[in-house]
Amino acid sequence: MKGKHDKFKSPTRRQVIGGIGMGTATALLGMPLVARAQSEPIRIGFPTPLTGPFGAEARDQVKSAELAVKQFNDAGGLGGRKAELLVRDDKLNAGEAATRTLELIEKDKVHAVVGALSSAVQLAVNQVTRARSTLYISISQSDTINEVKDWSRYTFHEALNPHMTTAAVAKHTFKKGMKIAYLAADYAYGHEMLRGFKRAQAAIGAASVGEILHPLGAPDYSTFLPRISAMKPDILCICNFGRDQANSIKQAVEFGMKQQMKIVVPVLLHNQRLAVGPEVFEGVVGGANYYWGLEETIPSAKAFNNAFRAANNGAIPTDYGAYGYTGVKSLLQAITAAGGTETDKVVAALEGLKYDVAKGPQSYRKCDHQSIQSVLVLESKKKADMKSDVDLFRVVATEQSGEAMLRTCAELGFPA
Amino acid sequence: MDLQLIAMQLLSGAVLGAVLVMTALGFTIIFGMLGVVNFAHGALFMVGAYAGVAVAMQTGSFWWALLVAPIAVGAIGLLIERLLIRPLYSRPPDDPILLTFGLGYVLVEGVRIVFGNDGIPFSTPSALVGVVNLGIGYFPIYRLFVIGVVAFILLLLWLGLEKTRFGLIVRAGARDPQIMRVLGVDMRRLWFLVFGLGIGLTALGGVLAAPMRNVSPEMGTIVLAEAFVVTVIGGLGSIAGAVVAGILVGLVVSMTSLFAPEMATISMFALMALVLLIRPQGLFGRAGV
C-alpha cells in the first residue's frame, strides 16, 4: 500500500491558478445551473469488472444495481427527478478503473460512484474519487479503506471488511487449543484475510501451525498440500478469491484433506460453489454478506429476492451481486433524505442513515464510514440435503456485527 | 523437515511434471513438425475440457469423454489447418502467430457464449476417486492414473515416430521439407495430419485436467504459458526434451513450494531464463534450430 499516494503529484503553481480561475468561473456560471439541476437525472457511475475472471459476479452486481435504480424511478424518483446508472467495465485492472472513474466524473458528470469488485481496483477508484471530492460507495472487501491513510470523507464502505468477516467466521469454527494452518493468496485480499483470522485466532486461544502464501491465480495446488498435511492441523483456512478458491478446494479434496481437517474460507462464494459442485464444497464453512435463504427470516430479503426474481426470470441474487443493490439503494435513500445531490448534504445524510433494504438493519459508522451490518456464516450443503438447485448453503449463524466486531475508531487512527 | 515430507514433495513434483508434459505435448509437436507457434494452444486445451464436459453430460461417462472429446477437437484442428493455417505456410512466421493468437480469443469468447462465463463442474470419475497410501503419504488415485495415461501416450508416440514408415516421413519432414517434396512426398497432407494430432493431444490434456482444475473459459491462459516454458526448456520441437523439461519444471516448482511457496510460479520462469542463458537451444534442442 505504501507509495500509493506518490502517483498523484502535488499540483503545480500553474494548476493552482488555473483551478482558482475555474472555480470562479463555475461559481459565476453556477447560478443558472442550479435551476437546471432540479430536472437533470441523478447520474450514478458504476465501474465493475464485466470481463475477466470475476465477470459472473460483476454481471450480478449490475443486475442488482439496475433493480435499485428502477425501484427508485418507479416510485417517482426524487420529486420527479429520475436516477440513471452508468455502467463501465473496469476489466479488473486498477489503471483501467481509475481512467473510467475519471471519465465518469469529468465527462459524464456523475453525482456519485458505486462499484468495483476487487480490493486493489477499489482502492484505485477511491484514489480518484477522493482527489475529486466525489461520493463513492465502495462494495468490495477491504480493511485499508477504513484506515486513516486511505480514508476519504466522501467514501462510504458498504461491503463487509476482512476484519469483521474473519472475526465472525472464526467465532463459529475455531475453538480454544485448535491447530490452524493457512493457505493464502499472495496479494492484498489474502494478506488482509490472513491478518484478520490470526487476530481472531489469538483471541480465541487457537494456535497457528503454519502459513503458506501461494501465487495469485495458481492453477495447481498439489505441491502445497503435502506440507499442510504434515502440519496436521484441525482446520485448514484457505484465504483466496474467485477461481483460486474453486481450484484450491477442489484439489485439497482430491488429496483427501477433508478427511483429516475441516476447510474454512473467509468468504464462501455462491458462483464458485456452482462452478465446482456440491460434493467438493460439502461441509466447507465461510462468511457472506448475503444469501438468498435469508428470506425465511428477514422481510427485506424476501422483498429483494422477489423483486430480483421478477426482473430476472426467476433467478436469485448472489452474494457479491447483492452489494450492487445495497450500495445503490443506500445512496438513493440518502439523496432522498438530503433532498438533492449536493455532495456535502448527501455525506451528512449517509452518516445519519439507518437502512434495511436486503439483510436487516444497516448504518454507516461516523468515523470510518464502514457499514455496520450482519455477517452470515454459511456451510455448504450435502447434495442429498439440497431442496433445489439453488439451495446451496445452510446458515450456521447470523452474526449481528455491531460496533463490537469492528476495530475501534482509535485503532484505525482516527482522533477520538 | 523430515525425509517423508521431502519424498512426498518430490513425488507431487514429478506428478505435476507429468501433467505439464501432457499440457505441452500438442504444442511441442506442432512446433517441431510445422514450425507453427500455436498461440491458440491454451484455448484449444480449454475447448478440449469443455468438449469433455459436453460428452460426459450426454453419455454420463468420463471414459467416453476421454475418448470422444480429443477426436472431435482433433477434427476441429484438421479444419483449422485446412482453412486457416495452410494459406499462411509461405508467409513469414509471425503470420500464423497472429492468426492463432486471434483464434484463441475467438474460441474463448465462443465458449463464453455457449457455456457462460462461470465454470462448469466436472467430477473425478467414481472409479478413480480417493487416495491411496504410498507408504510416504496419501496420494490421489486420479493423479496416478494421469501419469499412466501420459506414459501410454508417450509410448504410442514413440512407437509411431520411430517404428513406422509414417513416423519416418514425419521426422524427415521436420528436418528438411524441401528434400521430402523433391522425393515426391505430399508434405501438405502430412502437416494436415500432424496438426490434427497435435490439437487432439492438446484436447486430451484438457479432458485429463478437468477433474483437477476448474473448468472455465480462462483455464487455458496459464496452460499456454506452461507449455511455452516446458517447450523452451526442453528444446523446441523435441518430444524427449518436453518430457524431461516437464518433469524438471514439476520438481523445481514443488521444491520451491516447500521452501518459498510464494515464488512457486516464478521459479518456473526463472528456470527457463537460466536454461536460455546456459544452453539457448534448450536441453534437447539442436543448435541453430
In a domain, B224, yes or no: yes
Ramachandran angles phi, psi of A134, nearest 5°: -110, 145
Superfamily classification of domain A163-288+375-405: Response regulator (3.40.50.2300)
- The pLDDT > 90 percentage for chain A reads 73
Tell me phi and psi for residue B148, to 5 degrees.
-60, -45
- Return the CATH number at B187: 1.10.3470
Q: Is residue A286 predicted with pLDDT exceeding 60? A: yes
Overall average pLDDT of the A355-364 stretch: 94
B289 belongs to a structural domain: no
Per-residue pLDDT at B286 exceeds 80: no
Top-level class of domain A4-160+300-372: alpha beta
Q: How many domains does chain B have?
A: 1
Question: Cβ–Cβ of A243/B119 closer than 8 Å?
Answer: yes
**What is the average pLDDT value for chain B, to the nearest integer?**
89
Please judge whether B216 and A275 are an interchain contact, meaning their C-beta atoms are less than 8 angstroms apart: yes
Residue B59 domain flag: yes
For testing the chain A interface, which of B16, B118, B266 should be mutated: the one with the most A CBs within 10 Å?
A: B118
Q: Where in chain A is the domain with CATH 3.40.50.2300?
A: 4-160+300-372, 163-288+375-405
Q: According to the model, what pLDDT value does residue A102 have?
A: 97
CB B13, CB B75: distance < 8 Å: no
Mean pLDDT of chain A: 89
- Side chain identity at A230, as an amino acid letter? A
Cβ partners under 8 Å of residue B188, min gap 6: B86
* Contacts with A72 (C-beta within 8 Å, 6 or more apart), sequence order: A82, A83, A329, A332
Instruction: Read off the C-alpha cell for A65.
Output: 444495481
B254 touches chain A (CB under 8 A): yes
pLDDT on residue B1: 57
A19-56 pLDDT per residue, tens: 555 555 544 444 444 445 557 899 999 999 988 777 88
pLDDT at A143: 87
In this prediction, residue A28 carries a pLDDT of: 47
A360: pLDDT strictly greater than 70: yes
User: How far is B23 from chain A, CA to nearest CA, in Å?
Assistant: 12
B285: in domain: no
pLDDT at A11: 54
Q: Cell digits for B146?
A: 494421469
Centre a 10 Å sphere on the Cβ of residue A78 and count the other Cβ atoms it contains: 20
pLDDT per position as a tens digit, B42-87 = 999 999 999 999 999 999 899 999 999 999 999 999 999 999 999 9
Supply the range of the domain harboring residue B222. Answer: 3-278
Chain B, 12 to 51: residues with Cβ < 8 Å from chain A are: 12-13, 15-16, 19
Check residue A176 and give its pLDDT.
95
Q: Cβ separation of B140 and A255 shorter than 8 Å?
A: yes
Residue among B71, B40, B41 nearest B55 (CA)? B71
Q: Which of A20-34, A210-224, A339-353 has the lowest mean pLDDT?
A: A20-34
The answer to whether the CB of B233 falls within 8 A of the CB of B55 is no
pLDDT, residue A3, reads 42
Predicted confidence (pLDDT) at residue A4 exceeds the cutoff of 80: no
| pLDDT for res A30 | 47
User: Is A223 within 8 Å of B9 when comparing Cβ atoms?
Assistant: yes
pLDDT at A403: 78
Least confident of B99-113, B135-149, B193-207: B135-149
Distance (Å) from the alpha carbon of B241 to chain A's nearest alpha carbon: 22
- Angle (CA) A280-A281-A282 rounded to 5° is 95
State residue B45's pLDDT score. 95
Q: What is the pLDDT of residue A12?
A: 58
What is the percent of chain A where pLDDT is above 70?
90
